[in-house]
Chains A and B, each alone.
Chain A
């Protein structure tokens, strides 16, 4: 499978600030890839360079085997800064963008109608863009980015500002488009959305890629075997036994809540998460255990482990 996007040592500076710092990246065709990171991490700058809207100071970028300038009609792009012609009618706006993307006039009206129907916006063709709600405008912008059936779709923060119902609709549509063989990249700083949708995740912080891999790979790589135990009675003896266990990396006891949370050492030879039998033996020696929960690491957990702080904290800083 060839790569839809290749970045080689791409750097972009704004004065003294290095927004993107020597990024190397390959995104294979057919991926559904999340581009994650806090605000100001360099996501939008990287995306704009991929789109050839701005140019890198150093490095090379290849999109669909060439320059994005030559392949604009094969790319769909939803920018972070949303924009519509306020006085233009919805149908005319979508047709205008489609024509700019190389779609002929034959069947264009039906194509627009089908997309509006699909995004649950029937009957808005004759409305002016300014008459629509913010969420509806955002869905129109999404349609504008995919109406020409592009090979590669780049969505910059597509879910921001959408209510849960519309966010779910958009997520479903993105997955459907992906299933039809399209390559999709979307940036977000809401990690759980990426976790639900993506098959691959790229995490960027301060202009550098800090994580790149498929979700199972990442989970494997960062699987700390976090186990949460809820029990009644005295937890001290159990905590003592677990602390002495060679496979337990760290342990935290919350006596008031009757809970112990422990992290285990990573084992390369056991790719699938499971609780080692020796640890299970420790549990069996304890009376009053209610639940034992093997927790998967979330992207939030991974981000904290990599960067040392949460995305929300970094957002606040930026």
Chain B
């Protein structure tokens, strides 16, 4: 009966903390609204935005050069269309994703500026100032000054004193960056073609030769052949670990701030007249655990559903999902208990920063070590880091997700035991500090005082 009452009190505290953290407009907007908006943006708005064309590059382009050769080539490039390698690569990559809304030969509108340019060649370099004046008055939109060296074939073995010539492009202050980038591509392509002609090559043929082919990677598994997503496969472990880290710290931070708030607004003593410090601590940690769970479901769930929707479900196996959830529980309780202990010991948030410092440095290590662990999840270093509390949940999530082969069972079991042991130890430590700290006001305790609180019976 008494135990039932105690549990009911814990549930009441947990529900209040959950209610006043998660069921608020700001939180719902951040945790539910933003992922939904991002999802809608990714599926509906983004393809439309990608296909949107930018404003027309319109006006007179003056090319100052002695031969007039480049101006002619600029007109030819404009006629056949500027070769935008980056845009084409991106279009290919995006169109390869199922449901991207782009077909393979469709171009990314925002990276392809439509042009209505009139090209004028001026062969007298002495007129440069006159042309600049016309740019200032708005008679032309850009001036390209081509020195003879620019269209010469570069030496096969340039000496140490060789200095590559540069192209000068004068533009008006109103020119948008996309227009300037388009002019650069246009002129550089015309110059490259000019050099190729001068060297006796067929520029179009060279371009086709240099064009990179599309690579299709197929992973052969026991169940058959599956398309591979190399880049995503490298990113998923880091994203997963970051998700765990961010959610654990965000929720842990809620435990910290609500505890400090209850101390600073003096409601703590009212609460302690109704519940024991342990019931209060348990309620607060469980309430924020529900908040963390909600965040995990929203962010993690949307990410997993997105991968399945894009036919990339093989990137997250059931084994990975189950283990990630287990490590998430360990990560959350490790951090939440730490934050509850710190929150109970101080009266102001700024005092908490100094106590949190050393712990946060340790817990930030996985963020610094992810590259070597991700590259070689079975290395000795990765194994040791994965079995070192309090890094266990983060490093192990990274390892499980990054490893092409399932990790040895003993490593998983040992990590779960160590992680669970860390949680039990942290709960004990937090309980010892919390019961004393919640009633303390004024300056934060020194490490010696904290030790005294822990030992106090």
State the Cβ distance, B273 to closest chain A Cβ, in Å.
4
B5 touches A69 (CB 8 A): no
State the Cβ distance, A70 to closest chain B Cβ, in Å.
7
B275 touches A72 (CB 8 A): yes
- Identify which of B268, B271, B276 contacts A69 (C-beta below 8 A): B276
State the Cβ distance, A84 to closest chain B Cβ, in Å.
6
- Identify which of B16, B20, B268, B274 contacts A101 (C-beta below 8 A): B274
Q: Please give, as numbers and ranges, the residues of chain B lying within 8 Å of A144 by CB-CB distance.
A: 270
Most A CB contacts (10 A, CB to CB) among B268, B271, B272, B273 go to B273
Q: Verify if A132 is at the interface (C-beta below 8 Å from B).
A: no
Interface size of A in residues (CB-CB distance below 8 Å): 29
Given the complex of chains A and B, what is the CA–CA distance between A70 and B2 in angstroms? 8
Given the complex of chains A and B, what is the CA–CA distance between A119 and B266 in angstroms? 22
Residues 42-84 of chain A, each 1 if its beta carbon lies under 8 Å from chain B, else 0: 0000001001011000000000000001101101110101111
State the Cβ distance, A43 to closest chain B Cβ, in Å.
14
Q: Please give, as numbers and ranges, the residues of chain B lying within 8 Å of A304 by CB-CB distance.
A: none
Given the complex of chains A and B, what is the CA–CA distance between A83 and B267 in angstroms? 4
Given the complex of chains A and B, what is the CA–CA distance between A88 and B262 in angstroms? 12
Q: Verify if A87 is at the interface (C-beta below 8 Å from B).
A: yes
Q: Please give, as numbers and ranges, the residues of chain B lying within 8 Å of A54 by CB-CB distance.
A: 439
Q: Verify if A229 is at the interface (C-beta below 8 Å from B).
A: no
Q: Please give, as numbers and ranges, the residues of chain B lying within 8 Å of A97 by CB-CB distance.
A: 270, 274
Q: Verify if B13 is at the interface (C-beta below 8 Å from A).
A: yes
Q: Which of B260-288 contact A (CB under 8 A)?
A: 262, 265-276
Given contacts A70-B2, A100-B275, A102-B5, contact A53 B269 (CB under 8 A): yes
State the Cβ distance, B342 to closest chain A Cβ, in Å.
20
Q: Is the interface of B mostly helix, strand, loop or mixed?
A: helix
- Identify which of B5, B12, B267 contacts A84 (C-beta below 8 A): B267
Q: Verify if A86 is at the interface (C-beta below 8 Å from B).
A: yes
Residue of B nearest to A96 (CB): B16
Q: Please give, as numbers and ranges, the residues of chain A lying within 8 Å of B439 by CB-CB distance.
A: 48, 53-54
- Identify which of A48, A75, A79, A86 contacts B270 (C-beta below 8 A): A79
- Identify which of A72, A82, A88 contacts B273 (C-beta below 8 A): A72
Residue of A nearest to B274 (CB): A100
Q: Verify if B195 is at the interface (C-beta below 8 Å from A).
A: no
Q: Verify if B9 is at the interface (C-beta below 8 Å from A).
A: yes
- Identify which of B2, B12, B272 contacts A53 (C-beta below 8 A): B272
A96 touches B12 (CB 8 A): yes
Residues 89-109 of chain A, each 1 if its beta carbon lies under 8 Å from chain B, else 0: 000000011011110000000
Q: Is the interface of A mostly helix, strand, loop or mixed?
A: loop
Given contacts A53-B273, A53-B439, A72-B273, contact A100 B13 (CB under 8 A): yes
Residue of B nearest to A102 (CB): B5
State the Cβ distance, A48 to closest chain B Cβ, in Å.
8
- Identify which of B9, B265, B269 contacts A100 (C-beta below 8 A): B9
- Identify which of B12, B13, B266, B274 contacts A82 (C-beta below 8 A): B266
Interface size of B in residues (CB-CB distance below 8 Å): 22
Q: Which of B292-313 contact A (CB under 8 A)?
A: none
Given the complex of chains A and B, what is the CA–CA distance between A127 and B5 in angstroms? 30
State the Cβ distance, A215 to closest chain B Cβ, in Å.
28
- Identify which of B5, B20, B267, B269 contacts A73 (C-beta below 8 A): B5
State the Cβ distance, B348 to closest chain A Cβ, in Å.
16
Q: Which of B304-325 contact A (CB under 8 A)?
A: none
A85 touches B273 (CB 8 A): no
Given the complex of chains A and B, what is the CA–CA distance between A100 and B9 in angstroms? 5
State the Cβ distance, B167 to closest chain A Cβ, in Å.
62
Given the complex of chains A and B, what is the CA–CA distance between A257 and B408 in angstroms? 101
Q: Verify if A141 is at the interface (C-beta below 8 Å from B).
A: yes
A99 touches B12 (CB 8 A): yes
Given contacts A70-B2, A100-B13, A102-B5, contact A83 B266 (CB under 8 A): yes
Given the complex of chains A and B, what is the CA–CA distance between A76 and B273 in angstroms? 8
Given the complex of chains A and B, what is the CA–CA distance between A55 and B266 in angstroms? 20
B271 touches A100 (CB 8 A): yes
B273 touches A77 (CB 8 A): yes
Q: Please give, as numbers and ranges, the residues of chain B lying within 8 Å of A100 by CB-CB distance.
A: 9, 12-13, 271, 274-275
Given the complex of chains A and B, what is the CA–CA distance between A70 and B279 in angstroms? 13
Q: Which of B1-47 contact A (CB under 8 A)?
A: 2, 5, 8-9, 12-13, 16, 20
Residue of A nearest to B19 (CB): A92
B274 touches A72 (CB 8 A): yes
State the Cβ distance, B24 to closest chain A Cβ, in Å.
9
Given the complex of chains A and B, what is the CA–CA distance between A144 and B270 in angstroms? 9
Q: Please give, as numbers and ranges, the residues of chain A lying within 8 Å of B265 by CB-CB distance.
A: 83-86
Q: Please give, as numbers and ranges, the residues of chain B lying within 8 Å of A85 by CB-CB distance.
A: 20, 265, 267
Given the complex of chains A and B, what is the CA–CA distance between A88 and B20 in angstroms? 9
Given the complex of chains A and B, what is the CA–CA distance between A5 and B268 in angstroms? 24
Q: Please give, as numbers and ranges, the residues of chain A lying within 8 Å of B269 by CB-CB distance.
A: 53, 77, 79, 81, 83
Q: Please give, as numbers and ranges, the residues of chain B lying within 8 Å of A75 by CB-CB distance.
A: 273
Given the complex of chains A and B, what is the CA–CA distance between A82 and B267 in angstroms? 7
Can you list 11 A-B contacts with CB-CB less than 8 angstroms, sorted by A residue number? A48-B439, A53-B269, A53-B439, A73-B5, A79-B269, A81-B269, A83-B270, A84-B265, A84-B270, A100-B271, A144-B270
Known: A86-B265, A100-B9, A102-B8. 19 other contacts (CB 8 A): A48-B439, A53-B272, A53-B273, A75-B273, A76-B273, A77-B270, A77-B273, A79-B269, A82-B266, A83-B267, A83-B269, A84-B265, A84-B270, A85-B265, A85-B267, A100-B271, A100-B274, A100-B275, A101-B274
Q: Which residue numbers of B lie inside 8 Å of A, CB to CB? A: 2, 5, 8-9, 12-13, 16, 20, 262, 265-276, 439
Closest 8 CB pairs of A and B: A83-B266, A83-B267, A77-B273, A100-B274, A79-B269, A81-B266, A99-B12, A53-B272
